[in-house]
Structure 1
Amino acid sequence: MLRYLPFLLVLALWIYAFVDCLNTPEDEVRHLPKVAWVFIVLLFGEVLVGPLAWLIAGKVRRPAGPAQTWVAPDDNPDFLRSLKKDEPDTE
């Protein structure tokens, strides 16, 4: 079973690169038209040249945006204001 592992890893990378190439919008594809990248990934997938070329040079990579910070409820002024609205008047 272990002897099939390299083949399965190559196949998984091939499929991932192909699906990623198909799902990428045309304006995010670099250097070649999208159709050319699809053919490159398909034709050179067995030797990993096509999928690696797509992942390295074919798609525009964007840095991750700023992480959203979590604020505890007792530090969140909006949450505290909403609690004051829900309190009944005890006068």
Structure 2
Amino acid sequence: MARLLIIGGFLAAVFWVFSIVDCAVQPATRHRGVSKPAWIAIVVLLPVIGGVLWFVIGRRRANDSGTRPVIGPDDDPAFLRSINKEEQDERIRRLEEELAKLDEETDEPPAADPRP
């Protein structure tokens, strides 16, 4: 039983130190809820509980910026509205012409020259 308490205490101390360091090195923009000094105080004063709170509530993920996700131009309504319908039809017509030319070309090699 004493071994479990020693191992548990060691793991709690490692987690506590890791939580303090992680909270301290994160930029202020990645903290949710309260300010950075307040989070550091919470983690220091409440060793294990503060660390758990920091990782569950206070730490904002790198991809959790609160901004709109990046979308491609074909999914962006503003971009689609900006496309001129005539330009789009002209481009489709040109691409279809190029495709028809490619279909007409044969893949056969040219005939050999019979002259020696």
Q: Which TM-score tier does this pair reach, normalised by the shorter chain?
A: 0.5 to 0.7
User: In the alignment, which residue of structure 2 is the partner of 1:2?
Assistant: 3
Cα distance in 1 for partners of 2:38, 2:53 equals: 12
**Paired amino acid for 2:62:** R
Percent pairwise identity: 28
**Residue segments in structure 2 that go unaligned for 5+ positions in a row:** 64-116
State which structure, 1 or 2, has the greater radius of gyration over its C-alpha atoms. 2
1:2-81 matches, within 5 Å, as 2-3=3-4, 4-45=6-47, 48-63=48-63
TM normalised by structure 1 equals: 0.63
Count of aligned positions: 61
Map residues 74-89 of structure 1 onto 2, 5 A cutoff.
none
Secondary structure of 1:31's match? Answer: coil
Structure 1 stretches (4+) deviating beyond 6 angstroms? none
Q: Secondary structure at the match of 1:15?
A: helix
- Aligned-pair Cα RMSD in Å: 1.3
Question: How far 1:49 sits from its partner (Å)?
Answer: 1.0
Structure with more relative contact order (C-alpha pairs < 8 Å, separation 6 or more): 1
